[in-house]
Amino acid sequence: MIALCNSSFWVSAQTQRTLLAHRGLAQTYPATGLTATTCTAARIFPPEHTFIENTLPSMRAAFAAGADIVELDVHPTTDGQFAVFHDWTLECRTDGQGVTRERSLADLKKLDVGHGYTADGGKTFPLRGTGIGLLPSLAEVLNAFPDKRFLIHIKSNDADEGRRLAERLTSLPHQQSQRLMIYGGAQPVAVARDMLDIPTMSGSTLERCLIRYVLLGWSGYMPSDCERSVLLVPVNYAPWLWGWPNRFLNRMNDHGSTVFIVGRNDGEDFSSGIDRPEDLSLLPSGYAGGIWTNRIDRIAPMLPNR
């Protein structure tokens, strides 16, 4: 009876497949051996395009390539704005120095966000000089793409940052704010969740959701951490989820949550995505949930009906 109630046979997913482009159309790098301080710009693969992550051209190219959602990173600035930039500090990717959130937006816009990218150990820097002035504010992104969906990554664990971000998003038209999702540090995400009616996720809520669902989901129990959430599910963990794939997707959809399959979790971080044909082959036939990818330009053309 338990197996029957959690089977996906003859169950169609209520959701539609969605492609999430991590940081837009960006330069990629080996996901092995990363630490919290690894400068990923210093280890990119030889560039196949000239787009730089977290910039308006990168986002525009990602949507044009087939992305339904773009993930971006934000930091508060000293002049009350939110800068769209990945790193906590500036030295890795730019020609600047110091902590990102300790600079004004005007100062950050003077930097070259393509300065530090190299694929040959620093012999050449193919994007140097091309990223001057390309660092956008969150306001600029939302103004440029008012009808698009975004997953906003809060890079800190500062509760006040969550409050400030939520206040900014509440000023948007309701229809636009409902296209947004937030994830990041537990404290700012908790504050933003209390102030906004949109899906959110922190590492702790994701862990609690998946562990409790694996333990009790067979009974139909839905952990509160799985409600109105963003769920990043490693592709090698997914088959252990009760009702995978369609019944699980439907249950989460019914509770206001959005599911994204990410790459295998073998101790690496969630920068690993569904980026290769062999990654796609791990998904169930007809999979209708979200897909997190670092290579929207490669993955979107491989999917039917795109």
User: Is 22 domain-assigned?
Assistant: no
Q: What is the pTM of this model?
A: 0.95
Domain housing 226: 201-301
User: Is 242 domain-assigned?
Assistant: yes
Identify whether residues 94 and 174 lie together within a single domain.
yes
Identify whether residues 285 and 273 lie together within a single domain.
yes
Identify whether residues 209 and 193 lie together within a single domain.
no
Identify whether residues 191 and 217 lie together within a single domain.
no
Cα-trace Rg, the chain: 19
Identify whether residues 193 and 48 lie together within a single domain.
yes
Question: Which stretches of 43-130 are DSSP H helices?
Answer: 56-65, 105-108
User: Is 275 domain-assigned?
Assistant: yes
Pick from 174, 198, 222: which residue ends a domain? Answer: 198
Q: What gap in Å lies between CA 304 and CA 306, rounded to an integer?
A: 6
Q: What gap in Å lies between CA 151 and CA 139, rounded to an integer?
A: 14
> Residues of 230-268 as b/e, b for ≥16 C-beta within 10 angstroms?
bbbbbbeebeebbbbbbbbbbbbbeeebbbbbbbeeeee
What is the domain-level CATH number for residue 67? 3.20.20.190
Identify whether residues 224 and 248 lie together within a single domain.
yes
Q: What gap in Å lies between CA 215 and CA 221, rounded to an integer?
A: 10
User: Is 93 domain-assigned?
Assistant: yes
Identify whether residues 70 and 193 lie together within a single domain.
yes
DSSP H/E element including 153 = strand 149-154
User: Is 64 domain-assigned?
Assistant: yes
Q: How far is CA 178 from CA 81, 166, 169, 170, 226, in A?
A: 21, 12, 10, 10, 18
In three-state secondary structure terms, 166 is helix
User: Is 7 domain-assigned?
Assistant: no
Contact between 55 and 128 (Cβ < 8 Å): no
In three-state secondary structure terms, 183 is strand
Pick from 132, 165, 198: which residue ends a domain? Answer: 198
Number of H helices, E strands in the chain: 11, 9
| DSSP assignment letter at 157 | -
Identify whether residues 152 and 178 lie together within a single domain.
yes
Mean pLDDT (10-residue bins), the chain, 306 residues: 54 84 96 86 97 98 98 98 98 98 98 98 98 98 98 98 98 97 98 98 97 95 98 96 96 97 75 90 94 97 78
Identify whether residues 52 and 184 lie together within a single domain.
yes
18-22 and 290-293 beta bridge pairing: parallel
User: Is 13 domain-assigned?
Assistant: no
Identify whether residues 72 and 158 lie together within a single domain.
yes
Query: Closest by alpha carbon to 24, among 53, 66, 50?
Result: 53
User: Is 181 domain-assigned?
Assistant: yes
The total number of structural domains in the chain stands at 2
Q: What gap in Å lies between CA 164 and CA 162, rounded to an integer?
A: 6
Pick from 164, 181, 198: which residue ends a domain? Answer: 198
pLDDT at 31: 83
User: How is 247-296 classified by DSSP, letter by letter?
Assistant: HHHHHHHHTT-EEEEES--SS--TT--S-SHHHHTTSPTT--SEEEES-H
HSE, side-chain direction, 13 A CA sphere, residue 163? 3
Query: Closest by alpha carbon to 16, among 275, 298, 288?
Result: 288
Identify whether residues 132 and 63 lie together within a single domain.
yes
Helix axes 186-195, 159-170, angle to 10 degrees: 30
Torsion angle in degrees (nearest 10) through CA of 30, 210, 229, 75: -40
